[in-house]
């Protein structure tokens, strides 16, 4: 772990705990900082705060006191989920106190090069593909970031022999200053998280932070077919590698209906790729380009692409039974993600949807409905989904009370050769604590039905 002399004996506030705040607080303490942690969860219910207090850190729980910043902090490290409208954060910015997220800390302490991946969609699949390709090629990768493993905790033990493959959200990237990945990947940009960022420009600017500090010793892999991404790419000083999913090109990595190309030279047949859908082809091209830049063998890249069936809950193939294929896309908590899932199939689809009603329109799904044989729905959005299905002439549309009933009915109305797809287009919180729990239940239901 790199030492950070500028934090030694400095007062630092860690705002918000959970996994990332706890890791950051402990690392800063080990680096010799005087760390205060502040979390809204009461101390009696806060295992992380209790642990940090036992380590000798100052702990303030249950509220964010108005005079908190009067301690004279040199730096704040905040949980990514805490918005910049938070009173403590807003006041810190007024006082010119630097505000980081813990990925900035991870970058500064890491001895290993960082491969950073961001975008509105495809981050997790691309991150996982890159990790698997590097692992197959014995490049000693570590995986971290928004994918579930705290970045600073991974960076703490990484060495120069490792490569840290790091999924980065806009929330995390907004709190960076010097973050400089060896390879930065920008998948795509669509409207998202505007409740946090307030404007689309603030959101996209946050994403651009992934390459903002790169120079010509680094690489920037980006979507060459999306204008807003190309516009941002022009500002990057890194060596540029665009990807194109719809045409063969002489630069970067590209695909036509038959082959994948590297700088216009055929690499391998597209048919070897196990993942379905145009959106997954973006992920494959970005991951393959990254692996090539890191000197992975073509054999390792192809081996992963032939076997990789997807990340759990993201158009994840579950099983095939009685001529039906079952896919779990519980991560599709908005229409953009469901659009990608529906577009990935040419077979007839029995679509299971529903969940929290956020009030958004389903109209962008209309071009992808011709293959939908049936729509079975549940949850808060049921009334709107019923109307949507009927107005767009889906042959069979029916409301049920829960996912188990939806899956049973979907199996009943499906035919051999069909795809049964859970792609809710809605958040899970009306009936589940998370999309993961919803997806896990779907998998269990499908497996039980296939053996009954």
Closest CA to 171 of 103, 122, 229: 103
d(CA 206, CA 68): 27
The first and second tokens of residue 204, run together, are 């996209």
* Residue 359 known to bind ligand: no
* Residue 119 known to bind ligand: yes
d(CA 418, CA 434): 28
Q: What residues are paired with 145 via a beta bridge?
A: 167
* Residue 124 known to bind ligand: yes
* Residue 145 known to bind ligand: no
Q: At which residue do the structure tokens 């929330």 appear?
A: 171
Closest CA to 371 of 337, 417, 319, 309: 417
| Contact yes or no for 274/308 (Cβ under 8 A) | yes
* Residue 127 known to bind ligand: no
d(CA 181, CA 125): 19
| Contact yes or no for 82/89 (Cβ under 8 A) | yes
Tell me, letter by letter, the H, E, C secondary structure of the chain: CCCCHHHCCCEEEEECCHHHHHHHHHHHHHCCCEEEEEECCCHHHCHHHHHHHHCCCEEEECCCCCCHHHHCCCEEEECCCCCCCCHHHHHHHHCCCCEECHHHHHHHHCCCCEEEEECCCCHHHHHHHHHHHHHHCCCCEEEEECCCCCHHHHHHHCCCCCEEEEECCHHHHCCCCCCCCCEEEECCCCCCCHHHHCCHHHHHHHHHHHHHCCCCCCEEEEECCCHHHHHHHCCCCCEEEEEECCCCCCCCEEECCCEEEECCEEEEEHHHCCCCCHHHHHHHHHHHHHHHHCCCCHHHHHHHHHHCCCCCCCCEEEEEECCEEEEECCCCCCHHHHHHHHHCCCCCEEEEECCCCCCCCCHHHHHHCCCEEEEEECCCCHHHHHHHHHHCCCCEEEECCCHHHHHHHHHHHCCCCCEEEECCCCCCCCCCCCHHHHHHHHHHHHHHHHHC
Which residue ranges make up the annotated binding site? Answer: 119-125
Please enumerate, by residue number, every residue annotated as part of a binding site for ATP.
119-125
């Amino acid at each position: 772990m790199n030492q950070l002399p500028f934090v030694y004996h400095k007062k630092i506030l860690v705002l918000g705990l959970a996994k990332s705040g706890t890791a950051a607080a402990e690392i800063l303490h080990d680096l010799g900082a005087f760390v205060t942690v502040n979390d809204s969860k009461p101390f009696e219910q806060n295992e992380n705060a209790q642990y940090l207090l036992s380590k000798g850190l100052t702990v303030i729980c249950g509220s964010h006191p108005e005079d908190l910043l009067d301690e004279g902090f040199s730096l704040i490290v905040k949980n990514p989920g805490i918005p910049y409208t938070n009173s403590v954060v807003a006041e810190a910015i007024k006082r010119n106190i630097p505000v980081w997220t813990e990925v900035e800390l991870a970058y500064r302490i890491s001895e290993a090069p960082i491969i950073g991946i961001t975008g509105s969609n495809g981050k997790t699949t691309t991150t996982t593909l890159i990790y698997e390709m590097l692992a197959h090629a014995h490049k000693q990768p570590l995986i971290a970031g928004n994918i579930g493993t705290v970045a600073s905790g991974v960076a703490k033990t990484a060495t120069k022999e490792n490569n840290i493959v790091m999924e980065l959200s806009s929330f995390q990237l907004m709190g960076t200053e010097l973050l400089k990945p060896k390879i930065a990947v920008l998948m795509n940009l669509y409207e998202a998280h505007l409740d946090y960022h307030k404007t689309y420009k603030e959101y996209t600017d946050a994403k651009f932070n992934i390459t903002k500090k790169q120079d010509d010793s680094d690489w920037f892999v980006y979507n060459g077919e999306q204008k807003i991404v190309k516009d941002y790419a022009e500002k990057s000083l890194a060596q540029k590698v665009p990807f194109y999913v719809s045409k063969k090109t002489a630069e970067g990595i590209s695909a036509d209906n038959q082959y994948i190309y590297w700088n216009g030279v055929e690499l391998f047949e597209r048919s070897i790729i196990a993942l379905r859908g145009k959106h997954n082809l973006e992920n494959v091209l970005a991951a393959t380009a990254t692996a090539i830049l890191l000197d992975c063998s073509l054999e390792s890249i192809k081996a992963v692409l032939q076997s990789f069936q997807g990340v759990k809950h993201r158009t994840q193939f579950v099983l095939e039974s009685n001529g039906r294929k079952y896919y779990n896309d519980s991560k599709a908590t908005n229409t953009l993600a469901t659009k990608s899932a529906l577009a990935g199939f040419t077979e007839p689809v029995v679509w299971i949807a529903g969940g929290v009603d956020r009030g958004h329109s389903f109209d962008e799904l209309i071009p992808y409905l011709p293959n939908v044989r049936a729509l079975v729905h549940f949850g808060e959005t049921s009334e709107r989904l019923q109307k949507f299905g009927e107005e767009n002439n889906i042959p069979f549309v029916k409301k049920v009370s829960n996912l188990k009933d939806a899956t049973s009915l979907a199996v009943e109305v499906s035919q051999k050769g069909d795809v049964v797809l859970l792609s809710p287009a809605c958040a899970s919180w009306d009936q589940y604590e998370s999309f993961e729990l919803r997806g896990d239940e779907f998998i269990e239901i499908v497996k039980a039905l296939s053996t009954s």
